[in-house]
Amino acid sequence: MLAHQGVSNMKIAEVLSTTQNTVRKWRTRWLTGYEELCAYEQAKTRSTPKLLSKMLGMLSDDSRSGAPMRISLSEKENLVTLACKKPKDFNIPFTHWNRDLLASFAMENGIVKKISPSYVSRILKKTGHTSS
């Protein structure tokens, strides 16, 4: 909408707290499909749900390369919850968790199927938690 009002990519990026490259990518994506959307909107056979579906499809993220996630959001949350507790709460003779202990305990107790100590560290770092 800002672009339609004549606002520059630089200003849009500033307003949306993103980069000019991101703004450019989304503007290009919208403009590429705009004529098709207009034609569909003018068609006698159009339906609002299908139009909305076409718009959302145009704005959805492209597929990403790389391996699929192996640990669900729920598993990550459970891991963070575990890290917030003391090992002594589980009859483990340590005062603080370390990443190796968290990883092995989480796997042994079915919190996650498999996780590396380094990935435990990344999860905790991203959430701003540290093990207790």
100 close to 114: Cβ distance less than 8 angstroms? no
9 close to 27: Cβ distance less than 8 angstroms? yes
Nearest by Cα to 102 from 70, 126, 132: 132
Distance separating alpha carbons of residues 24 and 42, to the nearest angstrom: 27
Domain boundaries, the chain: 9-59, 73-127
Give tens-digit pLDDT for 11-26.
999 999 999 998 998 8
Is the CA virtual torsion 62, 72, 95, 86 positive or negative?
A: positive
Give tens-digit pLDDT for 57-92.
777 776 777 777 788 889 999 999 999 999 999 999
Is the CA virtual torsion 12, 8, 19, 55 positive or negative?
A: positive
**Is 132's pLDDT higher than 60?**
no
Which pTM does this prediction carry?
A: 0.50
Q: Find the helix packing angle between 117-127 and 99-108, rounded to 10°.
A: 100
